[in-house]
Amino acid sequence: MVHAEVVEAQEFPHLSQLHRVQAVPKTIINGVVEVLGAVPEATLLERVLSAVGQEDLLEGHAVSRPEEAATGPTSAVGS
């Protein structure tokens, strides 16, 4: 199961400062991985699985990735 919360950055400036939001969307997964910008569904799935240590679930599965789709930067939180 996936639980998600959406926070309006301008309505909650203390959370924006806490998570260093400089642009939206900014997705933080389990406080471990952050994804900046709008990314393709396949990229987001990879980041979610990475955050929970389950990257191996994608092995052997073809993930549809349009070559022209732009991907946003991803980093570990705190780096």
Tens of pLDDT, residue by residue over 59-79, are 877 665 555 444 556 566 655
Where does residue 71 rank: exposed (0-12), middle (13-18), buried (19+ CB within 10 A)?
middle
Neighbours of 28 (CB within 10 A): 16
In the block, tokens 């990229």 appear at 43
Whether the CB-CB separation of 36 and 45 falls below 8 Å is answered with: no
Residue 69 is predicted with a pLDDT of 46
- The percent of residues in the chain predicted with pLDDT above 70, rounded, is 75
Nearest 5°: the CA angle 52, 77, 27 is 70
The per-residue pLDDT for 68 is 41
pLDDT bracket for residue 27 (50, 70, 90): very high
Question: For the segment 45-64, what is each residue's pLDDT rounded down to a tens digit?
Answer: 999 998 888 888 888 776 65
